[in-house]
Chains A and B, each alone.
Chain A
C-alpha cells in the first residue's frame, strides 16, 4: 500500500457554479477533468494526503492586501472570496503544523490583481497569494516570505503589491513579456527604492522546455532563496507553461512541473492560470500533489507526451543560459547597483494600468518615502475610466515613527482633497480606514 512521506494538505475548490462568462477560459468546466483525474487516481485516499474544506475569506482579509474601489463588495464575487479563503485554509493547515505543505487548488486565480483594484485584470480580481501572505503575517508572526511565481504570465499583480517590501522576495518565471500578456516582467524591474533586488524577473523565451525551466530553477531560483532565507516559500503554481496550453507558447510538461515542485519544496502552492483543461491540468495537478506529498512521480505524464512533447531547441537553450548568466551577475554576484537615496526622500512614479477583462483604464501616481528603518510608507492616487478618483495610504508592518507620521499627513491631506474615497491601510496597527 502507498502512503505519503510528507504530510500534505489539499484544498480543492473547483467552483463548479462560477464563470467569468459562458465561454471564457475561466469557466465552470476548468477544473472538472482535474477533479476526475485526482479522484480516479485515488489521491485523497492516500494516508498523509488530507483534504480540507474551503471557507470564504472576510473583507477584513482582503483589506490587508488591497485598496478595493469603491469597496470589496463592488469588485469581488463570492467565488473570489472562497478562492482566497481556500488559500487561508491551506495556510492554517501548514502553520498550525497539521501538514508539512499544502496546495490550494482553487479558482478563480489572482496573480494579476494589484494593490489597487478597480475590476478584473487577466482573469483576476483579488490577489489570493497576497491575501494569504498578509493573513499569515498577521496571525502567525512570520515576516520573511518568498514567492516563486511559475505561471506562464508575468505575476504583475503580486509584483506590484510587494514592490516596496524588503521582507518579500518575489521571483517570477514566465514567458518573455514581449510575446505575451501582460507584457511586463523584465530583468530591470527589480523592486522599489526600499526593496531593491527583492523583485526578480526571469523572462524565458517561447518554446522553453523542461530543461530550461529546471536550469533557471537550479541556477537562479534556488540560490536566490538560499541567500534570502525566507521563513516560508509560496509557489504561484500557474500551469500554462504546458505544451498543450492554448493561450501560451511554452513547452513544459507534467513531469517537469512535478520535478520543479520536488526541488522547490514550497510550503504552500496556489493554483494560478492554466487553460489546457482537458490535456494538461489533470496531469500537472496530479504531478504537483504527488510531488508535494513526496510520492514517486516517475509514472506521471500526459497520454500524448511521447507523441507531442519536443525537447527545447539548442537556440532556446543558449538563449536561456545567457539570460541566467545576466541575472546571476545582477542578483547573485552584486551586479545590481543599488541606487542611493536620502533618508526620508519622497520618490514619485506615474503609471498607466489596463484592466483587460473589464476594459478599465487606470492612471496612478505613487509616492514612497525612502527609509532604511522600515519598508516605507507610500500613497497611491488613482483615477480610473470608471470615474473613480481615490487615494490609498499604506503604513507597513513595523513602521518607523517618521514613516507613520508621513503617512498620516498624506491621509489627512487626502481627506481634504477632491478624492471620492481615501483609504488608510495601517498594517502596523491592523487598521483599515475609509473616508
Chain B
C-alpha cells in the first residue's frame, strides 16, 4: 500500500492506495503546528491498518513555503564574487551579504583571481555576527565551479553549513542563483529539524518504507536527502494537484487542469500526460529561483471567496476571503452558499445560505435562486478569463530558432479537468464559460494527496562542454572533467544520462523509473578568426514528472 499526504492551506488530505484502488481517504484541518497536523492525519488514516503493509509514503508539505512567506528563515551569510555587470549589491539578501573580488567570464575562464584576504575578512565578519550558515555564489559558476569551491574550502572551518551556487542548479541566472542558494542555506537548519522529527514520528508508527517529499516540479525526493536542497520542497501544493489529475485521469491531449479550493483556483496545462514546466524557475515569496516547477497560476477565486455586487450591478467573486461561508456560520456570502442555495451541495445551513443570496440579490432585483445562479456563472467566467490569459502567456514565450518560429505549436486546450472540493458543482458552469468539455475525475476531492502518493522521483542535469577550454561540466552533480577536441554530442549524451541516473538514484529513484529525456540539446562550432577552435555543447537531460510504475490504474 502507498500513503499520500498533502498539507493544504486549510485542509490536510491523506489517502491510502492499493494498486489501482484508493482504499481510504481522510481530511483533517491544517493546524499551526505542522508536525502535529501530520501526526493527526497519520493517526486517522492508519486506524485499522497494519503499518507493515505500507511500502511507500510521500508528503507534500508547507514547511518551506511557509518559512519563506512568513520570513522564518535561518540567519545566513552570503559571499558573492561577481565581476562586471549589474551591481551585485542590487541582489543583496540576508543579514550579512559580502561581495569579494574575483571574476569568471561566460566561458568559465578566470578574468580576475579571488582575493583570499577579502574572502576571509567577509567570512570572519559573518562569523562575528553569530551566523553559522553561509551561501557562496559566483557569477558563471555553472561554467566553472573553481571559485565557489575555493571560497568554500577557505571558509568551511568557520561554519556548520555551506551551500554553493553551482550545486543548486545548472542554469544561468546569477541573481536567481544567489536567491536559490540563500533559500537553501537558510532553510537548512529548519528543514533538517523537520525531517528528523518526521522520521521519528514515522519510525514510531512503524512506517519503514521509503519516504518522499513532493517538489514543485511534480517529482519527489527522498526525505532524508532533501536536506541538501530544502528549497526544492517549497510550493509543492499546486504540483500535487496536477500529478493527482494525471494519476486519476491521464490527461490525454491538451488538458487544462483546474484545482478549485476554498480560497484559490490553481491552473496548469498537461500535454499528453506531461505537465508543462517553467523554463526559468519558481518564485518563492519575493524570490525568483532556479528551482524547476510546473507552470501554474493561482487565481484568488475559490468556493469560500467573498461575493459582492458592485454599484454597476456587476458581481465579483474574490480575491478576498473572510472566514467560512454563511452556510457554515460565516458572515459573508460565498459561491459555496450559492451551491447550497441551489441544492447542489446538501451541506450546512441552507436557510442561512438562501438568506445571504437573497440579500445579495436585492440590488439586482433577483430572488435567491437566480442570484445563486449568477454567482456561479460569474465565478466560472472569472476562472475562464484567467485561464485564457494563462494559456496566452504560455504561448507568448520567446523562442530562439527559426525552426521553433516556423513550427510553432500553439497550446490550445481541448478539454478541462477539474479537481478540488467544489469540482462537480462548478464543472457545468466552467464548461459553459470556456466552451470546452469538462471532466471531474473520481476522488477529485483528494486528488492532491493521490498526486503526492504516486509521483516518481524527478531529477535533471545540465551538461556544458567547451572543447576549446577542454572541459565538460555538470554543475548540479559537482562533476567537471578534462576533455579533448573529439568530445561530441553522443559522448555528452552518454555522460549526462549516466550522471542523471546516478543523481536520481541518490535522491531515491527506483531502478524501474529512470526514464530519461533530452530537454535541450545544442552544439555550436566555435570559430575564432576563420579557424575552428572547438565545440560548444549544451545538453539538458531530465527525468520528467510522471507516475510510479506501481500505480497501475487502468485509464
Give the interface of A toward B (CB within 8 A). 1-2, 12-18, 22-23, 27-29, 32-33, 35-37, 39-43, 45, 51-56, 78-79, 82, 246, 278-279, 282-283, 286, 290, 295-296, 298-305
16 contacts between A and B (CB under 8 A): A1-B91, A18-B402, A23-B530, A29-B525, A35-B400, A39-B173, A45-B175, A45-B288, A56-B405, A56-B406, A78-B402, A286-B85, A296-B87, A298-B87, A303-B103, A304-B111
CB of B526 within 8 A of CB of A29, answer yes
Docked pose: A80 CA to B7 CA in angstroms: 52
Q: Would B172 and A27 count as touching, CB distance under 8 A?
A: no
- List chain B residues, Cβ under 8 A from A282: 106
Chain B 286-316: CB-based contact to A (< 8 A → 1; otherwise 0): 1010000000000000000000000000000
With A1-B90, A79-B402 as contacts: A23 and B527 at CB distance below 8 Å: yes
The residue that B525 contacts in the complex, of A22, A286, A302, with Cβ under 8 A, is A22
For the complex, give the distance between the alpha carbons of A55 and B288 in Å. Answer: 28
Contacts of B398 in A (CB 8 A): 12, 51-54
Chain B residues with CB below 8 A from A56, complex form: 405-406
**A1 adjacent to B286 (CB under 8 Å):** yes
Residues of A contacting B399 in the complex (Cβ-Cβ under 8 angstroms):
53-54
Total B residues in contact with A, Cβ cutoff 8 Å:
42
Contact call B403/A17, Cβ cutoff below 8 A: yes
- Would you call B85 and A300 a contact (CB within 8 A)? yes
Residue pair A42, B526 in contact (C-beta under 8 Å): no
**Is B173 a contact of A283 with CB atoms below 8 Å?**
no
| Contact status of A33 and B106, CB under 8 A, knowing A52-B398, A300-B85 | yes
Contact A15:B139 (CB < 8 A) given known A27-B527, A29-B524, A303-B112 = no
List residues 481-537 of chain B with CB under 8 A from any CB of chain A: 522, 524-527, 529-530, 532, 536
Partner of A15, one of B176, B288, B402: B402
Q: Contact at B173–A42, with CB atoms within 8 Å? A: yes
**Shortest beta-carbon distance, A408 to chain B, in Å?**
38
A323 to chain B, nearest CB (A): 32
Known: A16-B401, A36-B106. 4 other contacts (CB 8 A): A23-B530, A35-B400, A40-B174, A299-B86
Per the bound structure, the CA–CA distance linking A295 and B86 in Å amounts to: 9
| Beta-carbon contacts under 8 Å, B63-115 to A | 83-87, 90-91, 103, 105-107, 111-112
Return the chain B residue nearest A298 by Cβ: B87
Q: Which residues of A contact B555 (CB under 8 A)?
A: none
Cβ–Cβ contact B405 & A246, under 8 A: no
A15 near B86 with CB under 8 A, answer no
Chain B residue with the shortest CB-CB distance to A10: B398
The answer to whether B524 and A45 have CB atoms under 8 Å apart is no
Q: Which residue of A lies closest to B139 (CB)?
A: A40
The verdict on B389 contacting chain A, using a C-beta distance below 8 Å, is no
When the two chains form their complex, are residues A29 and B536 in contact, meaning their CB atoms are under 8 A apart?
yes
Residues of A near B87 (CB, < 8 A) are 296, 298-299
Most chain B Cβ neighbours within 10 Å, of A27, A41, A286 = A41
CA distance A82 to B399 in the complex (A): 11
Q: State the CA gap A42–B278 with chains docked (Å).
A: 16
CA distance A1 to B280 in the complex (A): 18
Cβ-neighbour of B84 out of A42, A53, A283 (below 8 A): A283
> Smallest CB-CB separation from A53: which chain B residue?
B398
Other-chain contact of B405, A82, A290, A295 (Cβ < 8 Å): A82
